[in-house]
Amino acid sequence: MAAVIWLPCVHFFFRPDVSEFLDSDGISPKARRLSQRHVRLWTEADLREAALAKIRTANAEWDFMGRSFFVWSLANMAIRDEQFRPDALRAMDAIIDETIRLERDEDMYFFLMPYARRRPWVLSPARSQFIDGEIALMLALRQLVEEKSEYKPLLVERVRIMIERMEKSPVLSAESYPDECWTFCNVIAVSAIRINGHLDGADHSEFINDWLETAKTRLIDRKTGLLVSSYTLDGKHLDGPEGSSIWMVTHCLSLLDEDFARDQYKRATEHLGRSILGFGYAREWPDSWTGPMDIDSGAVVPGMGLSVGASGMAFIAAATFDDKQFYRSLATSLEFAGMPIEDNTGLRYETSNQVGDAVLLYSMSLGPAWQKVRERHKP
| Position among 76, 311, 332, 352 found at the interface with other proteins (CB under 8 A) | 352
Helix (H) or strand (E) holding 341: strand 340-343
Q: Does 348 bind other proteins (CB under 8 A)?
A: yes
Question: Does residue number 276 form part of the binding site for other proteins (CB under 8 A)?
Answer: no
Which region, judged by CB under 8 A, interacts with other proteins, from 4-12, 123-131, 226-234, 317-325? 4-12
**DSSP class per residue in 100-151:** HHHHHHH-GGGGS-GGGGSS--SSSS---HHHHHHHHHHHHHHHHHS--TTH
5 binds other proteins (CB under 8 A): yes
302 binds other proteins (CB under 8 A): no
Q: Which stretch binds other proteins (CB under 8 A): 137-145, 175-183, 279-287, 348-356?
A: 348-356
Stretch that binds other proteins, among 51-59, 89-97, 176-184, 212-220 (CB under 8 A): 51-59
β pairing state of 346-349 and 300-301:
unpaired
How far is it, in rounded angstroms, from Cα 2 to Cα 277?
15
356 scored as a contact of other proteins (CB under 8 A): yes
Q: Which of 56-78 are b and which e, b meaning 16 or more Cβ less than 10 Å from the residue's Cβ?
A: eeeebbbbbbbbbbbbbbbbbbb
* Min separation Cβ 314 and other proteins, Å: 18
User: Under the criterion CB under 8 A, does residue 331 sit at the interface with other proteins?
Assistant: no
* Among the listed residues 59, 218, 225, 374, the single contact to other proteins using CB under 8 A: 59
Q: In sequence order, what are the residues at sequence separation of 6 or more whose Cβ sits closer than 8 angstroms to the Cβ of residue 175?
A: 121, 122, 123, 127, 128, 129, 181, 233
Nearer to other proteins, 106 or 350 (CB): 350
Least distance (Å) from other proteins to the CB of residue 300? Answer: 15
Binders of other proteins among residues 129 to 148 (CB under 8 A) are: none
Q: Classify strands 279-282 and 300-301 as parallel, antiparallel or unpaired.
A: unpaired
Give the bridge partners for 280, in sequence order: 275
Nearest distance in Å: CB 6, other proteins: 5
Query: Toward other proteins, which CB reaches closer, 54 or 104?
Result: 54
**To the nearest whole angstrom, how small is the minimum distance from the Cβ of residue 57 to other proteins?**
8
Q: Is the peptide bond before 114 cis (omega within 30 degrees of 0)?
A: no
What is the separation of C-alpha 244 from the centre of its chain, rounded to a whole number of angstroms? 9
Q: Which is nearer to other proteins, 113 or 220 (CB)?
A: 113
Should residue 37 be labelled a site residue for other proteins when binding is judged by CB under 8 A?
A: yes
46 binds other proteins per the rule CB under 8 A:
no
Which residues make Cβ contacts (< 8 Å) with residue 241, sequence separation at least 6? 221, 224, 226, 227, 228, 229, 268, 271, 272, 285, 286, 289
Report the C-alpha gap between 74 and 7 in whole angstroms: 38
Total binding residues toward other proteins, as defined by CB under 8 A: 28
Please, what is the minimum distance in Å from the beta carbon of residue 137 to other proteins? 23
| Strand, helix or coil for residue 275 | strand
- C-beta of 255 vs 358, nearer to other proteins: 358
Largest CA distance in the chain: 67
> Is there binding between residue 354 and other proteins (CB under 8 A)?
yes
Of positions 83, 210, 350, 376, contacts other proteins by CB under 8 A: 350
Q: For the chain, percent helix, then strand, then coil, each to nearest 5?
A: 65, 10, 30
* Residue 164 C-alpha from the chain's centroid: 24
Q: Which of 109, 110, 121, 336 binds other proteins (CB under 8 A)?
A: 336
- The residues binding other proteins (CB under 8 A) are 1-3, 5-7, 10, 13, 37, 41, 47, 50-51, 54-55, 58-59, 62, 336, 339, 341, 348, 350-354, 356
